[in-house]
Amino acid sequence: MTAVLDLADVTFRRDGKEILHGVSLTVARGEHWVMLGPNGAGKSTILGFCGAVTHPTSGSVHVLGQQLGRVELQALRRQIGHVNPRHPLRSPLTVLDIVLTGITGTVETPMRWQPGRDELDRAHHLIDLLGLGDRAGDIWPTLSQGERGRALIARALIPDPELLLLDEPSTGLDVAAREQLLDTIDLLTHTHPGLTSILVTHHLEELPETTTHAMLIADGRISAAGPVGTVLTSENVTAAFAHPIEVEHRDGRWIARTAKRRSAVLAGQASNSGHPSTSD
């Protein structure tokens, strides 16, 4: 399969400190990856490579077949959709206006820019697809966090990107809104079958069912990467987060919890319930 992303022995330094150490990774077209790791592990830096906003200190990064440092970045970024729940919008734009800024690649609506009929039709189609048809005219401050997340996915999709980046999209969502958002992401495998995606999160419970691959990052290195079922094991996740964690996969979803030496707990419960019998 065609590689959408290829990192080869990448290092990255900031202020004299090496943040990434010899990272190598290949993501093929149509795969759906999750990037997991503790705070400070290097996830944001790797996502910066994927979005063509960060250059490596050494090694090479190819995004959509183009090597960073040898390509016009603005043209490359137009092929990448980026969903960031910390979207820095300051104006009270409507959902429709926000989605249309995905065409211009701006946060605000550019002065004197007007969308064409085809662009408006595409925006309305995506707004309807993501369940926001009755909110198209509502302004950003009145939207719930879940509605904002879905609006930003529509914004990321309107230029018809080849690569979709989701940077902790469940941030600030309650359980119902999170589930709606995950359902939306799962829907994309049917509506946009050629799309490749990379989702960053701290929580296994926030993985869409359609996740195909996973990478675990710790201390600036990829500790495990590959098909999701072989990577997200209790042993690998425990090592990445430096904490004993039990991982379960149930009904298509992932669950993580602290390993509490349950055998010892059960043994203690058994001994407490087995009181010595009293002689008559």
Topology agreement, domain 1-79+161-229 and domain 89-157 = no
Distance between CA atoms of residues 153 and 148, nearest Å: 9
Mean pLDDT computed over 245-254: 92
Distance between CA atoms of residues 149 and 170, nearest Å: 8
* pLDDT surpasses 70 at 62: yes
Structure-token match 């009145």, residue found? 142
Distance between CA atoms of residues 43 and 220, nearest Å: 8
Provide the residue type at 83 as one letter: V
Distance between CA atoms of residues 108 and 36, nearest Å: 31
CB 52 within 8 A of CB 80: yes
Q: Residue 266: its pLDDT value, please?
A: 47
CB 188 within 8 A of CB 195: yes
What percentage of the chain carries pLDDT values higher than 90?
65
Q: Residue 276: its pLDDT value, please?
A: 52
47-61, 103-117, 172-186, 263-277: the lowest-pLDDT one:
263-277
CB 209 within 8 A of CB 187: no
* pLDDT surpasses 50 at 278: no
Token code pair at residue 269: 């419960």
Instruction: Give the up-direction half-sphere exposure of residue 118: CA atoms within 13 A in the CB hemisphere.
Output: 2
CATH class of 89-157: mainly alpha
Mean pLDDT computed over 251-269: 70
71: helix, strand or coil: coil
Distance between CA atoms of residues 242 and 239, nearest Å: 5
Distance between CA atoms of residues 225 and 233, nearest Å: 11
DSSP of 27-38: EETT-EEEEE--
The confidence band for 269, taking pLDDT boundaries of 50, 70 and 90, is low
What percentage of the chain carries pLDDT values higher than 70?
92
Angle between the N-to-C axes of helices 117-129 and 145-157, in degrees from 0 to 180, rounded to the nearest 10: 140
Q: Residue 263: its pLDDT value, please?
A: 44
Distance between CA atoms of residues 197 and 129, nearest Å: 18
What's the predicted TM-score (pTM) here? 0.87
Domain boundaries, the chain: 1-79+161-229, 89-157
pLDDT tens per residue across span 65-75 = 999 988 888 88
pLDDT tens per residue across span 199-241 = 999 889 999 999 999 999 999 999 999 999 999 999 999 999 9
Say which CATH superfamily domain 1-79+161-229 falls into.
P-loop containing nucleotide triphosphate hydrolases (3.40.50.300)
Structure-token match 């064409």, residue found? 116
